[in-house]
Chains A and B, each alone.
Chain A
Amino acid sequence: MKRDPNDLQRYTASERANHWVVGISFILIALSGLALFHPAFWPLSMLFGGGVWTRILHPFLGVLMAVSFAAMAVRFWKLNVMTPTDWEWLKRAKEMVNGDDHNMPIMGKYNGGQKMLFWALVVCMALLFVSGILIWRAYFSGFFPVGVVRLGAVVHAAVAAVMIALIFVHVYAAIWVKGTIRAMWYGTVTRPWAKQHHRAWYKEMTGK
């Protein structure tokens, strides 16, 4: 559904659906994981029907997310290859965060920050998946020496904290940059939004 004939299509319906599957499973995984992370978060286990259900559900949700994230990564990886302009953008990111984007280099569909986030999430997902298998006592831990399982526990907890922080930043960026969230609802953005934040992509889409 196009809100305005001049709007630009940024995501297809299937890309958006894919992203929502990842997003919803991430929220459930993060909440159930945090319940086991520290006693301060233990009450979150009640959201899943108690501690036992939290322990059972978390890894299966993890597998769901790993699969849906892999599908998304395959779709988007080409668009996230870093270019010299992206590095230049990153060097100036501080100015942007401080509220002045006048000197920012012109960006394509994604800016340097978004691309770095993408790759950081790819690495986090891979580490969480591998370490998650190691500490999945019901099916897998028995196959590994205890030293490896211990390392897995440390990696899983540490990377989970990093990934949750990254997602905070990701969500906040979408809230901060007005007109962004609709890209995940309707798949479209306005022309001024595109021209302001992703001028090279705007040119590609409109020829202007």
Chain B
Amino acid sequence: MPLQSLDIAARSATTTPPPGIRKTLEVAKLIDVTKCIGCKACQVACMQWNDVRDEVGENHGTYDNPRDLTANSWTVMRYSEVESQERGLEWLIRKDGCMHCEDPGCLKACPSPGAIIKYANGIVDMQQENCIGCGYCITGCPFNVPRISEKDHKAYKCTLCSDRVAVGLEPACVKVCPTGCISFGSKEDMKDIAEERVVELKERGYGNAGLYDPQGVGGTHVMYVLHHADKPGLYHDLPTDPAISPMVSLWKGVTKPLATLGLAAVAIGSLFHYVTKGPNEVSKETEKEVEKELEEEGKQ
């Protein structure tokens, strides 16, 4: 159940306004990738706070563990080894997980009323009790984030600790990060912190340092400071200019209400055709012809 203190800005598969009279502060989590040492404390804190445990996996020859997001691992560290002429080998580590898009593709795609909600503070949260397990959210998400659990066939992803935030706490990952790489607060404040840090990074020779707050999805409530903001793809294929796919917009846009009207028009049109033109009955003429034929047959 959504917490009442967090007002709702959008609700999946709902055509009327969700409850939302209060004005809440827009929040954001800022992940400063340049300060991350890849210790995975955040991954541990996430599992602990949310009380989910993943299967023990196998070593795939990288530090990525588990190898991908799962229904039980809502955040994973992505380790990318990048070689360039100017800088030699760089180890870029990105904490992956839900970006809490301002314009969430998952919510747009979801067919089940209230299975995904976006709070007024910007957090996008799945309400598993309303989830039907169709996986449309996976199809809709530009960041490949939601996962369906094998156990209960419900969709799971990072909640941005909506339960903690609702009572004035910061997300568990923020709380635990030993290098101060993750900050949490109002989106405005997080942008200010990022701006200062970017200036610092530029002074240190990272000319392309910048904030990742992609406008294609209306901005996100999880943002990154990147040393190479011009090439987000270096960080384990972080999309350069993510947006809800035009296919998803077509699928979930005005076409469906229009198609619905079209179907109604065909049904009502048929009814009116019947009452205006009348049924197509066999004519008396044909009936008589057939009678005559049968009589002749009888005589033979």
Tell me the A residues contacting B by CB distance below 8 Å. Answer: 6, 35-42, 51-52, 54-55, 97-99, 101, 135, 137-138, 141, 146-147, 149-151, 153-154, 157-158, 161, 164-165, 168-169, 172, 175-179, 190-193, 195-196, 206, 208
Report the minimal beta-carbon distance from A18 to chain B, rounded to whole angstroms.
Answer: 25
- Complex Cα gap A60–B246 (Å): 29
Known: A151-B247, A165-B266. A138 touches B256 (CB 8 A): no
Determine whether B229 belongs to the interface, using a CB cutoff of 8 Å to chain A: no
Report the minimal beta-carbon distance from A173 to chain B, rounded to whole angstroms.
Answer: 9
Report the minimal beta-carbon distance from B290 to chain A, rounded to whole angstroms.
Answer: 5
9 of the cross-chain contacts (CB-CB < 8 Å) are: A6-B294, A37-B111, A39-B111, A52-B153, A99-B278, A137-B134, A137-B135, A150-B245, A157-B256
Q: Does A178 lie within 8 Å of B113, measured CB to CB?
A: no
Query: What residues of B have a CB within 8 angstroms of the CB of A196 in the complex?
Result: 282-283, 286
Q: Does B282 lie within 8 Å of A193, measured CB to CB?
A: yes
Known: A151-B247, A154-B251. A39 touches B13 (CB 8 A): yes
- Residue of chain B at shortest CB distance from A168: B266
- Complex Cα gap A196–B277 (Å): 18
- Residue of chain B at shortest CB distance from A101: B280
Q: Chain B interface mostly helix, strand, loop or mixed?
A: helix
Query: Per a CB cutoff under 8 Å, which of B15, B144, B251 touches A153?
Result: B251
Q: Does B286 lie within 8 Å of A168, measured CB to CB?
A: no
Tell me the B residues contacting A by CB distance below 8 Å. Answer: 13-15, 109, 111-113, 130, 132-136, 138-139, 144, 148, 153, 245, 247-248, 250-251, 255-257, 259-260, 262-263, 266-267, 270, 273-274, 277-283, 286-287, 289-290, 293-294
Query: What residues of A have a CB within 8 angstroms of the CB of B136 in the complex?
Result: 137, 153
Q: Does B133 lie within 8 Å of A161, measured CB to CB?
A: no
Known: A36-B111, A146-B138, A153-B139. A178 touches B282 (CB 8 A): yes
- Complex Cα gap A52–B130 (Å): 9
Q: Does A179 lie within 8 Å of B282, measured CB to CB?
A: yes
- Complex Cα gap A195–B255 (Å): 43
Q: Does B273 lie within 8 Å of A39, measured CB to CB?
A: no
- Complex Cα gap A119–B14 (Å): 37
Q: Does B153 lie within 8 Å of A138, measured CB to CB?
A: yes
Q: Does B113 lie within 8 Å of A39, measured CB to CB?
A: yes
- Complex Cα gap A205–B282 (Å): 18
Query: Per a CB cutoff under 8 Å, which of A42, A99, A193 touches B113?
Result: A42
